[in-house]
Structure 1
Amino acid sequence: MKEHIIFRSNDLKIKYYIKDLKVVIYNGNKEWNYVKSYKPHIEVESNDKMYEILFCDARDISHEEYRTGFGHGIRSTFSQFSIDKKDIDISFETNIWIDNTFNDVHFQFIPIKESKGIIKKVVWPGPFEFNKPDRDNYTVLPMMQGCIIPTGWNQKVENIEDGRYYTRDAYMPWWGQIEDNNGYIAIASTPWDGGYELDHPGEGYTNVYPYWEPSLGSIRYNRELIYRFLVDCDYNSLCKIYKDYVKKKGSFITLEEKNIRNSNVEKLIGSPIIHTNIYKHIVPESIFYDKENPSNNEELTTFSKRADQLKRLKSMGVEKAYVHLDGWGKMGYDNQHPDILPPCEKAGGFDGMKELTDTCKELDYIFATHDQYRDYYLDAETFDINQAVVDEKGDVDMEATWEGGKQAYLCTTFAPYYVKRNFEALKSRGIELRGSYLDVFSVVNLDECFHKEHKMSRRNCMCKRIECFNYVSSEGILTSSEEGCDWAIPYMNLVHHAPHALYPNIDKGNARGIPVPLLNLVYHDCIVIPWALTKSAWGIPESKDGFLYALLNGGVGYLGVDADKEEIGKNKIVCDLSTKVATCEMISHKFLDDTYNKQKTIFSDGTSIEVDFEKDDYIIGHCDL
């Protein structure tokens, strides 16, 4: 048998070693090798014990050339595995091939046979050696807004949520590495049940590689990671490739296109986001309940008072705004979902809420509600345990974190019905919504449910969340959710948070790695993103000013409902710039000095923004493209 097999396309060459299944990729003058310690493997469970079986442990392994009209590579088949001398029913194929159109390298894992519940994780393909300790050699991660991690970065960097795609670890399902101006991007084309492992201990290397998890207990469908190898590139180059990938899929929808469907998008552009609340009611079971000061668990503001505050803002020169209202339901914020009607009686009920919506209409402000169709509260009037998410063991997960206390999770199969029920009820009472926030849909894990009557894969969950967005949008209502996971961006007009990842937690601290605006480099012209305009705010690195981040990213700002002239003036600077560039592509981002404090972005209309986080200074200019 040959020691290795070689296949190539143009300047790209792949060497596949038969014995240990190692892959070496040659592109230009650069050689990409697997980390020496890595061995392709599967994590399995048998008799309540976890085992790691290697691909090369298969007693029957075969390899054959894989050639089609669009590519060339190698197909390998693995079967006849055992644990503790007992056979286990697993067989699969791997395909590694080069697309002869784009020179992309496809890694495909194809399940053939598996006993349900036995495979817990597939770890393949492996990490490439990446250990040249130079500041210009770095790993690129779409962790929240995005970051780069220089190989020599002497701080440990860890994932936030196990590296799963479509969470804060990966708003977008890709990553990359740049070494000596050569690099690659790895795109998960089947991202629903997968993620990436990150190992950067701060000791001169970074390992990053994918893993694949079961769907409803089995691998079930083919998994694929697509690599593109580049010369003379940086993180801007990787973002352009991913942007082109999304466009080719047909899921890149700009704000200009969204405005054709809903003309309120034009009113949203350049509007400050006024995020305010009606009723806070914290039950004793919640972790936020204040036992020492019980009065802190209740806070009420009437709909009428909020209307008066908005009139005041208008008189102070706030010509347009997007008003996001929390806690308007019968028992307040994060209580009794999805049974939130009638609106809070203490605050004015249906009549008071209609007065507020009518006021917003008179002021030409966009009125939007916070809503929730995942957290499923046990004290909701129509709570039914049979509509809750059921895990693989048949259990219903419960928690009592948020203000409303004990909850399960609503299976997303039912979410569209509750959305339609509630929205139609508001409409029937003359309450005109122009915006809606479907809480957590665009940030929390995609759920899967094993209930026999409403089984739901993570991909099915995504489709049901999209169905909710589409219904809301069909009613002429602007759509939004919590954070910037890109599966949801085509269906949203606004995302309320897409800041940078911090440690020790996301609320406050230093940045994980070096912040770069990867999400905006891909999606700036598709979605409106607001920023807190203060220092060290949520998602803003310690001592850094969110005002400068808003300018750098061409975003809008949050504005307090009781804002003074200074806050209004500062917000106007941000929103005026956003009005100008919101529909423009972010062409590039770069650092202007070695401290990473001086940064510059350029937009497709030629607008340039330079910021200095050390001096708290900025310059808005223009350059010829």
Structure 2
Amino acid sequence: MSEIIWHAENEYIDVTFYQDASADILDKGTQTRWHMGHVVLQEDNPIDVGHVWLRTERSMCEEYPGRFQGERSGDEIRFTLLGRERREVGQFSCQFQLQGPKFIVSIVEIAESIPSLMFPPAIESESLVLPMGVGKWLRNPLAERRFWLYPSHLNMRWFGGLRGQAGWIAIVEDGYVNGGVHAHTLRATPGWLKSLGQWRGKRTISYQFVSGDYVTLAKTYRAYALAHGLHRSLTEKIQQTPALNNFLGGRLLSFMQANSVTAEREEDSLQPSEEAARLEKQNPQVGITHKQATQLITAAVEQGLKKGLVVLRGWIKGGYDETHPDIWPPDPAVGTQEELQETLELHDSFTVALHDNYQDIYQQSASWPQGVIRTRSGDPMPGGLWSGGQAYILNARDGLAYAQRNWEQIKTLRPRAMFIDTTIAVQFYESYEQGNELTRAQDEALKQELLQFYKDQGQVLGSEEGADFGVPFVDWIENRHGRIAGVSIPLWPLVFHDAAFSTRYGPPPQHSESAQSSAPRWLTDMLWGYPLIWGFSKAQQGNERLSEIADMSHVDQWLERIGTQEMLSHRYVSADGEVEETTFASGDSIIVNFSDYDREIEGEYLPAHSYRLRH
């Protein structure tokens, strides 16, 4: 047994840290004993190498089992990180403290010889709880090694673990912008990255130990979010921008209006290019004109849709993605500006948003390459291959400037809502451009400033995927949350259901949830309290799918009841994970049978692919 290097206790917890960085923790409330191990997988090289999306899967070829030797110096513990063959990699210093029920670890100094650091060691647990997508409960060991970043892979700055009826939650209180989680088997460890090649700023993580399950962990983080300005209620947001109320019990109508195609872009994606070569002579390719958008909204009203939120995508010069950030004027192929304004102002009960993007820039844009992020090598940072071709990533400082510039034209259209794509969907970036350097912390602050800019213009505001740093600003989020029986847990709505409307991209709501589940998608939306999307890229598709309006009206009615309510709880009712229940602060609950056969659940008959509401 390694020697004790630090010990403290209070009425809540008793913590003993050893020289080898292992620890024993007693949660006095539950009398549960937790243990941190003494071996932590470490990386030989920097994890973030400047790619737009960090590679999450890690290899044993680039990692080693790190061990620690600690010694106390005043109020600090100085650890030496040992690598292969027990060779010294570098040293770092920590401070430990108890603060009420929290055990707080602060890493105050790290040697530059350490390229990245995983610390403190993992708490041994039976399962892991991760804020990924809607939420993930890992009960089977991970065979692979993973590193997940905040906020792209982990949409809230915490993770946790469970054993029996007890659990723990780790909240990154300082330095989360340069942090993430390393996971292998059922061990999850905080990970820390350098900023612009150096160790900068504070790194603080707090551990709390609870009686309960993943719902308790989510509610613990919700309390933290409320206390630290990361939560703002939909009720308050609707009071500030009343046009948001149209989404309460309404749907999101998504119209992809136009885009450009080229043979070269198809070739870049290794796709046949002959058809694109023919079509590019007639760019942009128009699927829904402004007049047709107006007609579709009117037709939806005639089918019984009472209100909603409409997003026009591809209205910009050249169509979807084509000319960011140089989007003005609206492309005349889609219609005149007067016709666009008519769509925007068509109906008081339908708030119409314009899609825009200040993360991406394209080589064909007039402003290229002004403001593009520069990697350590000095090259522009490439993004994805999108509708506009090869995207590159904008420095958030320049993205904000472009947004402010463009607003002078956009405001002449008098929109009530804007959808600013990707802003809260991706990891934080760095730029090495001399005189325009960008740290991840600055990237976060500038993205928040961008979102606040649109709120200052009185806009209902949406963005993609969702992350906790954006919740105080955005009103709705378009995400890709999916359901996997026994794995998916609604951590996101347990924390933020009453703070932002969430809606899901994907096939029409009557289609199957996934290849593994034949239950219709709208059942999942009802369980989580997510409004439906009615979206397409051709006007004819909309006309063919008008019947969905009436067919799905029961979902709208349910969302009207619980759309702004806190989600209080979730549980798996059946052992196979195919029957689930959620409860909301209004007193309403829903139990859903996702399985392909009828069930008798707690004395009630529940047919396959059905639900029951309780008020």
Q: Contact conserved, 2:423 with 2:463, CA < 8 A, in 1?
A: yes
Contact 2:303 2:550 in 1 (8 A): no
Deviations 1:108-137, CA, capped at 9 Å, x for gaps? 11126x44xx5421110111223xxxxxx4
Alignment partners' CA distance in 1, 2:575 and 2:381:
48
What is the rounded CA distance, in whole Å, between the counterparts of 2:321 and 2:458 in structure 1? 25
Deviations 1:388-423 (A, max 9, x none): 101123222235611111332111111122112222
Alignment correspondent of 1:321: 308
**CA gap 1:218/1:285 in 2 versus in 1, 3 angstroms:** farther
More divergent stretch after superposition (519-528 vs 250-259): 250-259
Aligned residue for 2:525, secondary structure, equals helix
- In 2: Cα distance, 1:352 partner to 1:237 partner: 51
Would you say 1:308 and 2:295 are equivalent positions? yes
Structure 1 partner of 2:163: 179
Aligned twin of 2:115: 120
Shift of 1:30: 2.2
Does 467-476 or 396-405 show the bigger shift? 396-405
Map of 2:135 onto structure 1: 146
Determine the C-alpha separation between the residues in 2 that align with 1:522 and 1:127.
Answer: 24
2:530 to 539, 545, 555: 555
Quote the Cα distance in structure 1 between the aligned partners of 2:367 and 2:514. Answer: 36
**Contact 2:485–2:578 at 8 Å: present in 1 too?**
no
Q: Which residue of 1 aligns with 2:240?
A: 261
**Hey, what's the Cα distance between the residues in 1 that align with 2:34 and 2:402?**
51
SS at match of 1:368: strand
TM-score after normalising by structure 2: 0.86
Question: Which residue matches 1:617?
Answer: 610
Distance in 2 (CA, whole Å) between partners of 1:196 and 1:186 is: 10
Compute the displacement of 1:538 (Å).
Answer: 7.9
Cα deviations by residue, 1:550-598 (Å, 9 ceiling, x for unpaired): 1111221112443645411233211221111122111100111111111
Residue 163 of structure 1: how far off its partner (Å): 0.7
Shift of 1:454: 1.2
2:407 aligned residue: 423
Distance 1:541 1:493 in 2: 32
Secondary structure of the residue aligned to 1:387 is coil
Q: Distance in 1 between matches of 2:86 and 2:523?
A: 62
CA positional deviation for 1:452 = 1.5
> Do 2:418 and 2:462's aligned partners in 1 also have CA atoms closer than 8 Å?
yes
Match runs of 1:325-404 below 5 Å: 325-359=312-346, 362=347, 364-383=349-368, 385-398=369-382, 401-404=385-388
Across the aligned residues of Structure 1 and Structure 2, the Cα RMSD in angstroms comes to: 3.0
Q: 1:147·1:512 contact (CA, 8 Å) conserved in 2?
A: no
Displacement of 1:481 in angstroms is 0.5
In structure 2, relative to structure 1, the CA distance for the partners of 1:386 and 1:365 (3 Å cut) is closer
State the Cα deviation string for residues 508-547 of structure 1 (Å, max 9, x = none): xxx3961111000011100111245536668896434221
**Deviation readout 1:307-352 (Å, 9 max, x if unpaired):** 1222222222222121111111111111110011111121224233
Query: Contact 1:555–1:575 at 8 Å: present in 2 too?
Result: no
Are 2:458 and 1:476 aligned? yes
Aligned-partner Cα distance in 2 for 1:264–1:158: 46
Partner of 1:411: 395
Pairing 1:284–2:285 present: no
**CA–CA distance in structure 2, aligned partners of residues 365 and 41 of structure 1:** 52
Shift of 1:31: 2.1
**Would the aligned equivalents of 1:124 and 1:211 in 2 still touch at CA under 8 Å?**
yes
- C-alpha contact 1:525 1:586 (8 A) present in aligned 2: yes
One-letter amino acid of the structure 1 residue matched with residue 314 of structure 2 = G
Do residues 592 (structure 1) and 593 (structure 2) align? Answer: no
Is the contact made by 1:555 and 1:574 (CA closer than 8 Å) also made in structure 2? no
C-alpha displacement at 1:213, in angstroms?
0.5
Partner of 1:221: 201
Query: Offset at 1:497?
Result: 1.3
1:534 to 509, 515, 531: 509
Deviations 1:466-494 (A, max 9, x none): 11111111111111111121111111000
Contact 1:119 / 1:214 at 8 angstroms: preserved in 2? no
Aligned equivalent of 2:23:
23
Relative to 1, partners in 2 of residues 1:82 and 1:254: Cα closer, same or farther, differing over 3 Å? Answer: closer
Contact 1:127 1:207 in 2 (8 A): yes
Q: TM-score normalised to the size of structure 1?
A: 0.84
Unpaired runs of at least 5, structure 2: 50-60, 536-541, 596-607
Report the equivalent of 2:604: none
State the alpha-carbon separation in 1 of the partners of residues 237 and 40 from structure 2.
Answer: 46
In structure 1, what is the Cα distance between the partners aligned to 2:204 and 2:356? 35
**Residues 283 and 374 from structure 1, CA distance in 2 versus in 1: closer, same or farther, beyond 3 angstroms?**
farther
1:498 to partner: Cα distance:
5.0
SS in 2 for 1:514: coil
Letter in 1 for 2:254: H
> Could you tell me which residue of structure 2 aligns to residue 111 of structure 1?
109
Q: What CA distance in whole angstroms lies between the structure 2 residues aligned with 1:547 and 1:512?
A: 15
Match of 1:506 in 2: none
Q: Secondary structure at the match of 1:406?
A: strand
Change (3 A) 1:512 1:217: farther
Answer yes or no: is the 8 Å Cα contact 1:253–1:526 preserved in 2.
yes
What secondary structure sits across from 1:551 in the alignment? helix
Kept in 2: contact 1:484–1:498 (CA 8 A): no
Number of the residue aligned with 1:519: 492
The match for 1:70 is none
Deviation, 1:91, is: 4.9
Instruction: State the AA in 2 paired with 1:549.
Output: T
* Pairing 1:458–2:440 present: yes
**Residues of 1 paired with 2:591 and 2:80: CA distance?**
57
Cross-structure match for 2:429: 447
Paired letter, 2:499: C
Hey, what's the Cα distance between the residues in 1 that align with 2:62 and 2:588?
55
Partner of 2:563: 582
Q: Which residue of 2 aligns with 1:240?
A: 219
Q: Output one character per residue of 1:173-231: Cα deviation in whole Å (capped at 9) or x when no partner.
A: 1111111211101111131011111223xxxxx11111100111112112111110123
- AA partner of residue 17 (structure 2): Y
Q: Is the 8 A contact 1:285 1:406 kept in 2?
A: no
Over 3 Å counting, the alpha-carbon distance change for 1:367 and 1:540 in structure 2 is farther
Q: Secondary structure at the match of 2:534?
A: coil
Code of the aligned partner of 1:217: G
Is the contact made by 1:55 and 1:78 (CA closer than 8 Å) also made in structure 2? no
Spell out the pairing of 1:75-94 with structure 2 (5 A cutoff). Answer: 75-78=76-79, 91-94=91-94
Q: Does the 8 Å contact 1:147/1:513 carry over to 2?
A: no
Q: Percent identity?
A: 22
Per-residue deviation at 1:79? 7.1
State the match for 2:34 in structure 1: 32
Unpaired runs of at least 5, structure 1: 67-74, 131-136, 201-205, 502-510
Distance in 2 (CA, whole Å) between partners of 1:157 and 1:617 is 36
| Whole-angstrom CA distance in 2 between matches of 1:79 and 1:606 | 54
Alpha-carbon deviation of 1:97? 1.8
Alpha carbons 2:250, 2:305 under 8 Å: kept:
no
Distance change in 2, residues 1:40/1:62 (3 Å):
farther
8 Å CA contact 2:169–2:208 kept in 1: the answer is yes
CA-CA distance at 1:95 after TM superposition? 1.4
Distance 2:546 2:62 in 1: 61
**Kept in 2: contact 1:496–1:529 (CA 8 A):** yes
What is the deviation of 1:356?
2.1
Amino acid at match of 1:467: E
Query: 1:272, 1:571 within 8 Å by CA — same for their partners in 2?
Result: no
